[in-house]
Amino acid sequence: MKYYNTQILIAIISNKLYMDEYLLYNHAMNESFSFELIAVQDKARAGIFHTPHGSINTPTFAPVGTQAAVKGVTPDQLANLNTQLLLANTYHLYLRPGDNLISELGGLHKFMGWNKPILTDSGGYQVFSLGDINQIDDNGVTFKSHIDGSIHTFTPEKAIQIQENLGADIIMCFDECPDPYQFEYNRSAMNRTHNWAERCKSAHTRSDQALFGIVQGGIFKDLRIESAKFINGLDFHGNAIGGLSVGEKKSEMLTILDIVPEFLSENKPRYLMGVGTPLDIVEGVARGIDLFDCVNPTRLARHKAAFTRFGRINITNKKYRSDKKPLVVDCDCYTCSNFSRAYLRHLVKANEILAPTLLSIHNLHILIDLADQLRRSIITGTFDDYRTNYHKNASNQGDSI
Amino acid sequence: MKYYNTQILIAIISNKLYMDEYLLYNHAMNESFSFELIAVQDKARAGIFHTPHGSINTPTFAPVGTQAAVKGVTPDQLANLNTQLLLANTYHLYLRPGDNLISELGGLHKFMGWNKPILTDSGGYQVFSLGDINQIDDNGVTFKSHIDGSIHTFTPEKAIQIQENLGADIIMCFDECPDPYQFEYNRSAMNRTHNWAERCKSAHTRSDQALFGIVQGGIFKDLRIESAKFINGLDFHGNAIGGLSVGEKKSEMLTILDIVPEFLSENKPRYLMGVGTPLDIVEGVARGIDLFDCVNPTRLARHKAAFTRFGRINITNKKYRSDKKPLVVDCDCYTCSNFSRAYLRHLVKANEILAPTLLSIHNLHILIDLADQLRRSIITGTFDDYRTNYHKNASNQGDSI
């Protein structure tokens, strides 16, 4: 039986009014895209990126809704997770249901019922990883659809046109994504990516969409520096680092992240594409990254794995059979607030489709909440301590048992 | 930009206090199970069934969570649908994860994160429809598990013991469910069901669980009347009608529903098991039924079908490709408030697991909301008009296009 205390209610109301003022201030900043740095600690940054669909507090992690849906998670649930930015895939949406249909239906935000910022990738990565490629040349890439085998060509201009039809707040340049270890291929792919970046910039017409460039160059420092300088020189709304977390060693990724950000403008957001894990986010933020996305949280959930803050657990393990604890003991996500490991294990063993939903909610929370905690630590000047403690807990297995 | 009006807030607070008083009143009524009739119009009844986990306003429809989960729908989403009662299946939970484990973990409510009323069936229907039956005799049924082929025996005493371990608010007598058309088999199955009902009543020990009897007798009026009189005479907390919607014609089901309820006590809830569709609910309520359950809303959702109030649509139909309308134009469920038919069709075509979730939310809403509207019409004395209009709209295809 709950009786609300009047004083508490008034405090809630006052706070609400205060928040509205704050949002009003933010809205005024939204006239065009802009990135404000709120606090910096060494290389780590806390910022705000203003977009037509609202402001994004950085660093943050963006869930992936490949086909205009985060697998098993509703927009309502995503909003409850404090999701600030969603990613959708141009390659998939172009093939099905088609960017023209989405445009006709009012754009991606309306189509998928998500009124906050959206980012679309350019289709580059998917064309190279999913498509059956017929031809690559300076003009673009011709490939077979993974759905029905039909033949399609993506050029830089086409990738921008599709993304303008989709209507995300942040769109990406079309890039070539090679195996990270082949030097010659990486040099030519980088040069082609630079040429395509210039063409994407020329093709870009919608002022309500921010266009980001992408740095390539595999695991090669010289190429990465050359690429960062070139892409940064084109003065995009933001800069991304692509071609990482694609099979190279973790140490190789970190080496590249040690050097690339310093060549990218301080006053623009930096986006590390397709990364990753809790540890990747801590180390990416330490190196000056502001935005992250990855399919990991939802894909692992469909494969019965749950993130802890420091690693992961396989919930089908017999030791969880009668375990009354939540996935992570002090986690305040919906899943951990309501369900035991024993129940989640049962759902997975019984093939209930609620299992990937509840595990996805938890996994997404771990990454979104971690990025938010890193942001707070930067603002309060305690990022170094946070990072040191993080590594100490991780090496003690942290909350993974 | 929203500024809350103080007067509105005070109104909300007052209403909240009023609701708390009301709940306090209801709580006092909950000391034991009781059923209050609020309004009656001809045979149709609006009532309140008080249980240890809260009151159930009747008539109502109960979603089915076979394996302690409604497929693809979280408890939070179920609560938002105004779900008052959930059903779970004894047969499934006994086999996996086991009723002893659920008991050890604090019972079904805690296990599945649902703190409102739950009903478990007795396993009778599943043993006869899913199990590979080895032997049936007066003692009970021996069957092979559909999961691993292991051998198990359910007796009336065992069915009660399992349900007491699970700990639902409403539990059911173990019954034999024959083909509805075979007279001799139905007579012997009915007699066995009566004997088992007496044994279930003797075996039942937990005073915080209401035990319901089940009327059987196939499509045969004489058997149904005999069964209704016998079961009613055992003075259970409520009475159920089983063995309908199992393959007989709709007209045959309605004929049985025309006669059975009058032999069941007016001051106890009447539960029509495994039914059904919007039309079934209207016609069941018209004949004095208070509780319904069915897997239809979630099963149809997994088969790409959506309920309208009067029928159903297959969302994969090409005519919905660019349809901006919601599934049902004036439906206020989460799905219809946020997503177009075109988007839902895309999700289904793209095999997104969000599709069954969103379709299930809509389908459950249609049945729960319909039962609530019927309740209101009974209370306001307009049930006959509601029913007449319903049939008129249904024959005009209503909202199905």
Which of A9, A322, A357 is facing B104, going by the closest CB pair? Answer: A322
Please state, as a whole number, how many other Cβ atoms lie within 10 Å of the Cβ of residue A265: 15
Mean pLDDT of A211-233: 98
CB spacing of A340 vs B105 below 8 angstroms: yes
Interface contact A357-B74, CB threshold 8 A: yes
Percent of chain B at pLDDT > 90 equals 86
So what's the pLDDT on residue B3?
38
Look up residue A241 and give its DSSP letter: E
pLDDT recorded at residue A124: 87
State residue A362 phi and psi, 5-degree precision.
-65, -50
Q: If you average pLDDT over residues B252-261, what whole number do you get?
A: 98
Q: Is the peptide bond before A269 cis (omega within 30 degrees of 0)?
A: no
C-beta atoms of B20 and A13 within 8 A: no
Short-list A356, A243, A332, A291, CA closest to A62: A291
Structure confidence at residue A134 (pLDDT): 82
Look at residue A124 and give its three-state secondary structure: helix
User: What residue has token string 């309920």?
Assistant: B307
pLDDT at B399: 53
Cβ separation A13–B9 shorter than 8 A: yes
For residue B396, the model assigns a pLDDT of 78
| pLDDT for the residue numbered B4 | 37
Tokens of B174: 């173990």
pLDDT at A19: 39
pLDDT score of B397: 64
* Reported pTM: 0.92
Q: Specify whether the CB–CB gap between A204 and A136 falls below 8 A.
A: no
What percent of chain B is predicted at pLDDT more than 70? 91
Contact A171, A237 (CB under 8 A): no
Answer whether residue A21 shows pLDDT above 80: no
Partners of residue A71 in chain B, C-beta under 8 Å: 352-354
pLDDT confidence of residue B364: 98
Q: Which residue of A has its CA nearest to B324?
A: A105
The per-residue pLDDT of chain A, averaged, comes to 91
Residue B19 confidence (pLDDT) above 60: no
Distance CA A92, CA A67 (A): 6
Express each pLDDT in B177-186 by its tens digit.
999 999 999 9
- CA quadruple A23, A24, A28, A32: dihedral, nearest 10: 40
Average pLDDT, chain B: 91
ipTM field: 0.92
Chains A, B: CB pairs < 8 Å: 138
Q: What is the pLDDT of residues A96-146, one digit of tens each?
A: 999 999 999 999 999 999 999 999 999 988 888 887 888 999 999 999 998
- Residue A388, classified by CB atoms within 10 Å of its CB into exposed (0-12), middle (13-18) or buried (19+), is exposed
- B35-73: pLDDT as tens digits: 999 999 999 999 999 999 999 999 999 999 999 999 999
Q: What are phi and psi of A216, to 5 degrees?
A: -120, -165
CA distance B167 to chain A (A): 16
Task: Flag if A23 and B9 touch (Cβ within 8 Å).
Answer: no
User: Residue A243 has what pLDDT?
Assistant: 96
Q: Which residues of A are catalytic?
A: 121, 293
Give A29 or B149, the one with higher predicted confidence: B149
Whether A17 has a pLDDT exceeding 50, the answer reads: no
Among residues B169, B175, B290, B293, the one annotated as catalytic is B293
Any chain A CB within 8 A of the CB of B318? no
Residue B132: pLDDT band (50, 70, 90) is confident
Contacts of A13 in chain B (CB under 8 A): 4, 6, 9
Active-site residue, B20 included: no
State whether residue B67 sits within 8 Å of chain A by CB.
yes
pLDDT in tens, A323-360: 999 999 999 999 999 999 999 999 999 999 999 999 99
**pLDDT of B29 over the 60 cut:** no
- B177-216 per-position pLDDT tens digit: 999 999 999 999 999 999 999 999 999 999 999 999 999 9
The mean-pLDDT minimum among A80-89, B255-264, B308-317 falls in B308-317
Predicted local distance difference test score (pLDDT) of residue B30:
40
Q: Which residues of A touch B106 (CB under 8 A)?
A: 324
Chain A residues whose CB is inside 8 A of the B113 CB are 338-339, 343
B290 in active site: no
- The yes-or-no verdict on residue B398 having pLDDT over 80 is no
Instruction: Give whole-number Cα distances, A136 to A153, A177, A181, B16, in Å.
Output: 10, 12, 19, 65
Chain centre to alpha carbon of residue A363: 13
* E-only strand ranges, A222-310: 238-241, 270-272, 291-293, 305-307
Closest chain A C-alpha to B337 CA, distance in angstroms:
9
Residues in chain A with CB shorter than 8 Å from the CB of B147 are: none
